Structure formats: structure tokens, C-alpha cells
Amino acid sequence: MPQGTQQGLPPGPAVAPPPVHHQDFPRSRTAAAAQAAAQAATPATPAFQIVAWLPYVIVLAGTAAGLLVASQGSQYTGRGAAGVGAALLVAALARLALPPRYAGLLASRSKAQDVAGFAVFGAAVLAVAASLP
């Protein structure tokens, strides 16, 4: 049986599928222009890299401190949870105030979704912390 007839295709040699859109991307730029645009989009200064990580490190440190306080015993659980909730609210404020290139790892979706997510989770954790003795 010739190739292709079992699937309802006309007989003949198998034909390669059309190229996928990313195989010839970018169409309108030359390789040199694409490389120059990539270098211009990402600043290489160490100070920029530190500033981009700073909000994330601050929120991470606040969360770790809250978890450390909460692990000290049941009498400190409320205080530790409040620290975690406060760190999440700080993350919401940082994401709201900073542009995406300085928000670092706090920016994962659109600004509105990030701020709403951090604010809702921070308020929920603070509500739980307020209900703890």
C-alpha cells in the first residue's frame, strides 16, 4: 500500500509539514539588529542587578523572619503570621510603586494581578493572625 492512502491522503511521498512560526523568527530584523536590541533591553550594570533583586529580597527576608518568629512556639504564632502578612502587603506596595524592570521577581503577571494577589493573600494572613491568640 503506498504511503498516505491509509489516512485518506493521496498516494505519493510524505511531505514535510510547513515550518513552525518560531523557526524563522524574527522575520523583520537582521541578526545584528536583533543582538543590539537584546543588549539594549538588558542593562549589564551590577547596580541595576542589585536594585532589581532588592524588593524581592526584602519581602523574602520579612517572610522568613515571620516564619522564624512563628516557629518559636504557640504564643508567638500570631506575631509571626502578622509578619508574613505584612511582608505580603509590602510586596503589593512594592509591585504597585515600582516599574516592572525594578520589581524583579515580584513581577510575574500584569501589575493589577500581582498587586491584587499580594494584597488579598496579605490581608487574609493578617486576618488569620488577628484571630490567633
Residues 67, 58: Cα–Cα separation, whole Å: 14
C-alpha cell recorded at residue 54: 532588592
Domain spans in the chain, listed from the N-terminal domain onward: 45-131
Q: CA-CA distances (angstroms) from residue 45 to 4, 19, 52?
A: 57, 38, 11
Q: Is the pLDDT of residue 132 over 80?
A: yes
Of 1-5, 84-88, 96-100, 117-121, the one with minimum mean pLDDT is 1-5
pTM above 0.85, yes or no: no
Q: How many CB atoms lie within 10 A of CB 10?
A: 8
